[in-house]
Structure 1
Amino acid sequence: MQGINFIAIDFETATRKRASICEAGICVVRNGKVAETRSWLIRPEGNYYSYWNMQIHGIRPSDTENAPEFPEIWTKITEYLGECPVLVAHNAIFDIGCIRHSLQFYHIKKPDITYYCSLRAARKLYNFDCNKLDYLCDQFEIPYRLHHRAGDDAEMCARLFLREIRDAAKCDHENMDFCNGKL
């Protein structure tokens, strides 16, 4: 898988609002191999959390009360995007929506980025009754630690997308136009 480079991304939110990001995770893939996985806690606006969201990811206001806000972490993420402006997310509608809403909320210019959705790819390539990230990783024996933590989910997504590229019999992600879009 030489030449396949992308950044898988995942966000956890404090509330139902897409701009309430409380954790960001990335997994950098270089030449078809996982090269680096990072995650950052982020203090959402007002550091307010809904009960339901805390039940999903386990992140609490006390975890993020001293964390940086989105603009500081976005600056770090864009350093990675500078070398590879291609994102992959599982259920990209959610994660790309988090980026769009947060950029708008914080008045940050939207960069020119292409994205791919591993969920849309899975629905096209496979015939499973369920296409949740953890379920697909179980089916393909892709190891993971903590589902619904951004760094771990980003790495799960990266490994799944590499599998999807291989199963689609495409030489690179750029030919997977059935699951892509622009930020």
Structure 2
Amino acid sequence: MNYTAIDFETANTSSESACAIGLATFSSEGELVETYYTLLRPRELYFDIRCQMVHGISPEKIISAPSLEDVWSDILLFIGKNPLVAHNAPFDMKVFKDSAASFNLSGLESDYYCTLSLARKVAPGLASYRLTSLAEHFNLGLYDAHMALDDAITCGKLFHVLCGSSLCDKTAFDAFMKKNYRDRRTGYPKRIVTEDSLLFS
């Protein structure tokens, strides 16, 4: 089962202010298949200095960047039918949905998984579950934290480490996720959906 790890950086504290996206698709064996990265020009060009200090992206860097609307079809094509994976997925999924909504974009529908929640379940008792800490704990290698593509690649590596061989067999993967991650109320994967009506699941 291929999967696509995703990470956003935002211009400010608004979930509509995506200013960079990184995507990394992995095979069930944990091999990096392909990547996608672009800076994004949010609808509102306000940058919070605190956010800039985290990711180093300034208004000058995105002034000629495409908007999410400009690259939407490329992003949908890249993701395809793959499930999405993110570290602290509620944040990234909200940024994805709300930034898409700011341009009235639709057509995305995908299961998603959170490596933060999964790591807490699979590897309890660690001192920190920050992506940088988990990368060090699992020997995933050094990377440029808060650079969207590097974060996505590291998240994808972490997902493979946490899920192991279950990724190679749908039945085993479903059983693993039912035990460790799936929605307790429904038993189904969590999903992100963008619709014309701007009503999201």
Relative to the length of structure 1, the TM-score reads 0.90
CA contact (8 A) 1:22 1:41 kept: yes
CA distance in 1, matches of 2:25, 2:137: 23
Count the aligned residue pairs: 179
Structure 2 counterpart of 1:133? 131
Q: Say if 2:147 is the partner of 1:149.
A: yes
CA distance in 2, matches of 1:106, 1:143: 37
Q: CA deviation at 1:171?
A: 4.3
Q: CA deviation at 1:167?
A: 8.1
RMSD across aligned positions (CA): 1.9
Q: Say if 2:29 is the partner of 1:28.
A: no
Deviations 1:11-39 (A, max 9, x none): 00000011100000000112321112221
CA distance in 2, matches of 1:149, 1:64: 14
Structure 1 counterpart of 2:191? 182
Structure 2 counterpart of 1:105? 102
Identity of aligned pairs, percent?
30
CA distance in 2, matches of 1:144, 1:10: 17
CA contact (8 A) 2:2 2:82 kept: no
Stretches of structure 1 that go unaligned for 5 or more consecutive residues are: none
Q: In structure 2, what residue type is equivalent to 1:138? A: E
Q: In structure 2, what residue type is equivalent to 1:106? A: F
SS class of match (2:109): coil
Greater than 2 Å deviation, 4+ residue runs: 167-175
| 1:77-116 alignment, distance < 5 Å | 77-82=75-80, 84-116=81-113
Q: In structure 2, what residue type is equivalent to 1:65? A: I
| 1:113-128 alignment, distance < 5 Å | 113-126=110-123, 127-128=125-126
Deviations 1:44-85 (A, max 9, x none): 123220011001101111110100001122221100122x33
Cα distance change of structure 1 residues 98 and 110 upon mapping to structure 2, 3 Å threshold:
farther
Q: In structure 2, what residue type is equivalent to 1:16? A: T
Q: CA deviation at 1:145?
A: 2.3
